[in-house]
Chain A
Amino acid sequence: MSTDGDGSIKVVPVRHVGRWVGVAAALVVVAMIVHTLLSRLPTGQRACQGTGASRVCHAVTEWRFSWDIVFHYFTTSEILHGLLITLELTVIAMAVGIVLGMVLAVMRLSPNRVLSGSAWTYTWFFRGTPVLVQLLVWFNIAILYPRISLGIPFTALSFFSVHTNTVFTPLEAACVALGLNEAAYMSEIARAGLLSVDEGQVEAATSIGMVRRQTLRYVVMPQAMRVIIPPTGNEVISMLKTSSLASVIGVIELLGAATNIYSANYEIMPLLLTASLWYLVVTTILSIGQFYLERYFGRGALRTPPPTPLQRMRHDLAGIVAKFPSRRGLAGAVER
């Protein structure tokens, strides 16, 4: 046992050899990616400057990933309009999905067999068929129902009647199809959340005289949220991208706008990249929102809530700053 001059014992941290090898490998891969992203290709042309003896020529190159074209289209009105439609689709479909999903989950857990059976059947049907098929069916719904009318069944009485295609646009068909499909998934997520709440919570609420609806709203739902939010965040991000399927039925959302442009100018890769970059931007924003939502609904669940990324960064910086003087100082300053 070796001790320092002042008698305190020196702490030697464990060396993580494997971890350093991993870090080195990761750095190499990152370097390769950055290199290829920023690489340039020769166009086959040469550019020359000057005349006579001072004439210099060099091969003309261009970005492998055509970044100039990617960023040129990034903010064009066509792409931005597509982005707006994508956001609209995502928001409406998720709103339908979440509200209907919650209703279905509560129905599914109801002691009433008819209610729970209907909810089960709904989920079975909408989860059991491809979402692309559902999109096409809603898009073509006028084949089954050329007119929408409200009347009394089995009689000729009708209060109003309109052509389906005049009120049901492709965008609306996409909202309905994606929303109803999402509800099936959301209902399972919500059900898992509701089941995760301890039975004792319901008993306690009941014992102070709350009725079933109040218990659900004020006691069960808020606690179920902690379990419901993370997979719902997943669903939102997934919906953002699934909404691109709507381009199949002629909705010009983000991907639709990109394909429209490249079918005219053949800049296929740059425009796919433009669309991808926008999807990444929105996903990033959504992830940040999800973090704070989770924190809000997780209150009370842990004795000390986890730090926000900002708090963690500040803590890490403080740690690094604090490290330097202690290197020069005496050992034994370990506990700081």
Chain B
Amino acid sequence: MKRSVLLATLGGAVLAGGMASAATLDEVKARDVLNCGVNTGLAGFAAPDANGNWQGFDVAVCKALAAAVLGDATKVKYVPTTGQTRFTALSSGEVDVLARNSTWSFQRDTDLKLDFVATNYYDGQGFMVPRALGVTSATELDGATVCIQTGTTTELNLADWFRANNITYQPVNIDSNAEGEQQYLAGACDAYTTDASGLAATRAAFANPDDHIILPEIISKEPLAIAVRHGDNEWGDIVRWTFFALVAAEDYGITSANLEEQAANSQNPEVQRLLGKTDDLGAMIGLDADWAKRAIAASGNYGEIFNATIGEATPIKLNRGLNAQWTQGGLMYAPPFR
């Protein structure tokens, strides 16, 4: 009997996982709400505001997608996921899409059976230390205690980088950003390491952000990308091109302010195709002609989203850097809409 109980438990767990590769678009439409996996709370990227509404750079992707697919940017259920739970949540079908500071890596893309459809933030891993520590370079961290979130690429990079530089460290494993913040501020670790954007966002939430510095070393490539399950290519296409619509909109100067006017009057054929005036691209991905227009209307184009959530004018103060448009020397580059 014991064995069958075990099996039943296991089976139950797997059953709950459910069939994952059914047509996600149909499921989302039938449900009339998009389940979007976000992080548990990282200011600027995804965090509930004072009214309990989720806001942020990653959240904007969810909104644009819900607007494109369901016609309403508010029809999103935000599912907070930790570094440990996020991919299980996605592959089990608990969320339809994951927009959560997740690095696109070979193993995740292949072995974990995920598909990273587009990078929404090009990042790299950095270190934050209290200014009072007097450290100015990560290479001076020999012997330091470092807080690190488990289940992340950053925990592997950390091990690699310290070994490559022939210095040692003591990891303190934490489960979420909030826990890391608490440990770091209590001095239980000398340094906190994660994506540089995450560091900036974490620091912005401190009582005295100026008491902490982010060290100059960037020790890895962290293309933070939007992920869907492997196998449902139609859904993957929708997510990818919805994001590209936001990037292209910035490229062509379409903003939330001039969206209607551009849709009505633009003579640029690319803009006409993007906003559904000609060619009906939407039909090719199972949506209507106005899908991209609605996506852009949700929170503006990529640049507007960036500036409003994590840009220089916000407490997080990130500059565009690698995430500028390709015309400005950045990596944001939407393939042609045709």
A, B from the same assembly: no
